[in-house]
Structure 1
């Protein structure tokens, strides 16, 4: 498995902006970002993830063109989950947006915005964003963790992305064989027990209406049932991280999303469980940090890092 060396020096002479887009089930967001990582403009649109391809692409185009018309672009990058053919810019398997499977989205966007366009997995871009603009600056090895409605881990190992091009981000690793059926068709994926959707499922039999972790944590201060669910949720997140620690020993885990915004006690449960399950010790003893960058901002900034690293034509 080959990595991708991450190194660039943003040229001081470079002007203009890059267009970074992130495609999630039901939402597309984009930003114009300069080579120094400064956000110049943002746009967002929502859609039905089960909609036909033409309707989803119409929303992607609306965000892209709304941003592109205000700047001469040096390049465009779009991130997504699932299985991607990054070499050809094609979405191969997207279980949450099935109409996009087989879509040559990079070529489509190249035509729409008139700039060189790359497709990359969002977990890979998130770790790049952390490395160049966030809490991973100066680190050669760490894992960047997305939590909440989405789940995934990008790994930087000795300065290289440790994942196959377009590969998965760990959400579908099997951690509970024979248990809950995942949207991918398998049973027991990490994703089935460690996302906000799992919390909502736990709330139904308990008649607890809270939709996110913040609500659950607030309720947990006075409801032992909610406290037990919150604790189990933290341990569920740790199970997947422990597998990654055992295999790759990143040591440092940068948290994004719900886990980053949760209480110190929630993260302490993750860390305690992670250390108990992995027990690697030494310099790679697991530690957790949060970041000042938002989860989506890290992904968008990672797109800028990728474009600069690829050496696309300079912006005039």
Structure 2
């Protein structure tokens, strides 16, 4: 649609008429030159300028209208488009060790399948953020680097399978890989405090070269906030009721979160996990959720060019009129 950026310039439209209407006619000022044959000239014709030709008046009107049309700055606005903003940087570290095949969080679905569904919804909500994906088992792997292409990250998470990175669990190495990737990014200095790691696991650290708490200290030094999520249904323990997931090292996960300024969450089922990701959405809101812009094309050059072209005959033919 057409839009005028400076519509106030239309107030200048009657300016030539106002000047001609209210300003007095210019009169010669100072001593007059005596010309002996002036009387003869006066007798042959009437002194004064001849009236301006009508075509020339029309030409000046067109030039002025074209200048006003350029001054209001016409633009063509396109359809609204989302702004590709750069907000927070989120890395999701997801445990794909052998125990993630356990079907105890929702009927007929494994822990990993529940995580894929709920974390996938979380990823798709992060408009304006850069999201990356780390899959870890015995070793961690960067499945998707930080990117605004949320659809691809969601796809990579959905394609993950249990055991793809080994059967054991290397929590410390997963945190270490996240730190390494962030330090390798030259933009890290500009995102201090806006970088988050969400680490999800159902077990304890049983592999890897870096102890989890040492990795947490390095993460704190790198200003990387770590939110830890422990998943798995509680295990019944006879007369004493539920004793929790016996493979889950909740104490270490709590210390990792506390050392980095994050939080620890416990998910016993799919409902708990959905609430956890909603809570993280509140703690770390997406930056560019409702930002849009309309691309515009400037059209002022066309009437300005017309005014310049019309001024050529107005000047060239002046002496012939």
Q: What TM-score bracket applies, with the shorter chain setting the length?
A: under 0.3
Task: Using structure 1 for the length normalisation, give the TM-score.
Answer: 0.25
Q: Between Structure 1 and Structure 2, whose CA radius of gyration is higher?
A: 2
Indicate the structure with greater strand content.
Answer: 1
TM-score, normalised to structure 2's length?
0.24
Of structures 1 and 2, the one scoring higher in RCO (CA 8 A, sep 6+) is 2
